[in-house]
Amino acid sequence: MKLENVKVGETYTLAVGKNAVQVTVKGVDEKGKITVVTASGKTMTVADTARLTVHHTNAPQATKGAKTKAAAPKTTKTASGRDVGQKGAPRGEEKRLGLVDAAIQVMKAAGEPMNCRDVVKAVLEQKLWTTEGKTPAATLYAAILREIQKKGAEARFKKVERGQFALTA
């Protein structure tokens, strides 16, 4: 839109980022900057007239403070017969065992405190859990410490000495 076509008092649509806001022109200064007011009363200055477009409306304007009818919530639709599950995600009937749960099984069988490296080695040998990560022992160590810190006395693990964990009774 050209500056000559902008009229004071007219309603336009202003592009603000990805949004379009209805504004009313209040004035144009000597440098060509346009002062506009939004429906909520916020005053803004627009330097680029290309951001303004003529506002078209088919519905009557709602007065300030008037209650508007709530729109029905949108629902998502999927094509029938289409598989919308994530690739590689387990199906509902088969639940994969996590590293911490697998560690609990291994530590129960051992019956004594273990370090994370030995626990992960046993978990991988028994094929209770698989990984392509480079440091699964560090991951288990962090998970155990996080559980101890968050749950306190209710944690499933306890630290018995440096790097050694045991199951709580």
Give the mean pLDDT of the chain: 83
Length of the chain, please?
A: 169
Q: Which residues contact 113 (CB under 8 A, 6 or more apart)?
A: 160, 161, 164, 165, 166
Please give the model's pTM, rounded to 2 decimal places. Answer: 0.46
In this prediction, residue 157 has a pLDDT band, given cuts at 50, 70 and 90, of very high
| pLDDT tens track for 60-109 | 455 555 555 555 556 656 556 665 555 665 565 667 889 999 999 999 99
Q: What are phi and psi of 16, to 5 degrees?
A: -125, 95
In this prediction, residue 49 has a pLDDT band, given cuts at 50, 70 and 90, of confident
